[in-house]
Amino acid sequence: MRRLVVLAVILFSFTAQAGNLEKASRLLEDMRYAKAKRMAVRVLKAADSGPKELVAAYRILGLCHSALGKTQASLRSFKKLLAINSDFRLSDSISPKLAAPFYQAVAMTRGQKPISLDHQPPPAPEALSGLRLKVQLIANPMKMVKAVRLHFWTEKSPKKNVLKARARRVGKIEFSLPRGIRARTVHYFFEALNAHRGVLARAGDDKNAFTVRVGLSGAVSAVTAEDSTEKKPAPKKVATLSPAPPEPPSPVTQPVTVRENEDTSITPWYQTWWFWTAVGVVVAGATTGAVLATQSGGSGSGPADYGLRFE
């Protein structure tokens, strides 16, 4: 009976926050900015608001501040929005004048890590009693995270138990399960909380809880039809070598045949036979001319006439 009451309260709270966001959005469209802002603040201060509700409320609050001329307040609201969801973007239907502080906030927070938690299940323990669970606060922009909450339950006690620890700095936060737990399996998840106990980020949730079993540890996640379908391994790619291109034929040279005793060297012109034959003819002619001139010079009567006779 008590569990049904708790579930009814949670369901009522979620319905209330959804109704507040719907009213705030309608008031924003009607340009009733002051009333829309008040409805958004209600959501921001609600203990049961989750990341999606907080982002939607900061969006409405930032646009209302921008419309009312409160640029710095609008900029601060949008920076808190981006601290929760750094990938959020405004619709193109928003007027550039109202959206100006948002894009300024985007430029100022570029490269900033959003609020996030990280956890690795511990090795399989011998017992769950007093088991230490550590969670890492990765980033805390705008110092919005004030505490971290641990939800856990066992197969023997499905009722959720809650532990909370202060966390204002990035780093590890440690929880110890209560002494005397005799169960062999525990399921759990973590939540980063703001000053009003609204949830800024989660590591796991009801449907995707971490699980530690005595002798076995691991994380449990929801199995979809796609995940359960056996996937055939992709065929391995085999590297094939293309044949090397044929080598170009080497140039064929005709063999040079050298005859036996044949002198293949080139003789200088002054050592050739025809040169020295011509020299001999010239010398012989000059000598004969000199002798004839001597014999004819004795008469002193000038040049002599010679005749040739052939018989």
In a domain, 77, yes or no: yes
Q: Pick from 108, 140, 167: which residue ends a domain?
A: 108
pLDDT in tens, 146-173: 999 999 999 888 899 999 999 989 999 9
Mean pLDDT score, 101-129: 96
In a domain, 256, yes or no: no
Mean pLDDT score, 201-209: 96
Are 52 and 120 part of one and the same domain?
no
Which of 173-182, 205-214, 223-232 is least confident? 223-232
Are 124 and 197 part of one and the same domain?
yes
pLDDT in tens, 252-270: 444 444 444 444 445 555 5
Query: 220 or 123, which is more confident?
Result: 123
In a domain, 281, yes or no: no
The single residue listed with the structure tokens 């140039």 is: 251
User: What confidence category does residue 95 fall into, taking pLDDT thresholds of 50, 70 and 90?
Assistant: very high
In a domain, 174, yes or no: yes
Question: How many domains does the chain divide into?
Answer: 2
Which of 56-65, 112-121, 279-288 is least confident? 279-288
pLDDT of residue 18: 79
In a domain, 57, yes or no: yes
Are 100 and 123 part of one and the same domain?
no
Query: 290 or 11, which is more confident?
Result: 290
Query: 246 or 87, which is more confident?
Result: 87
Are 99 and 120 part of one and the same domain?
no
Are 59 and 127 part of one and the same domain?
no
pLDDT of residue 157: 85
User: What confidence category does residue 286 fall into, taking pLDDT thresholds of 50, 70 and 90?
Assistant: low
Q: Pick from 108, 126, 150: which residue ends a domain?
A: 108
Which of 22-31, 35-44, 279-288 is least confident? 279-288
Are 153 and 67 part of one and the same domain?
no
In a domain, 182, yes or no: yes
Q: Pick from 223, 249, 264: which residue ends a domain?
A: 223
Are 88 and 164 part of one and the same domain?
no
pLDDT in tens, 41-89: 999 999 999 999 999 999 999 999 999 999 999 999 999 999 999 999 9
pLDDT of residue 280: 60
In a domain, 184, yes or no: yes
**Residue-number span of the structural domain to which 22 is assigned:** 2-108
pLDDT of residue 279: 54
**In this prediction, what percent of the chain has a pLDDT beyond 70?**
64
User: What confidence category does residue 132 fall into, taking pLDDT thresholds of 50, 70 and 90?
Assistant: very high
pLDDT of residue 158: 85
Are 49 and 124 part of one and the same domain?
no
pLDDT of residue 206: 93
Q: For residue 223, is pLDDT > 90? A: no
Mean pLDDT score, 93-105: 96
Are 120 and 104 part of one and the same domain?
no
CATH of the domain at 27: 1.25.40
In a domain, 187, yes or no: yes
pLDDT of residue 168: 82
Are 127 and 197 part of one and the same domain?
yes
CATH of the domain at 171: 2.60.40.2550
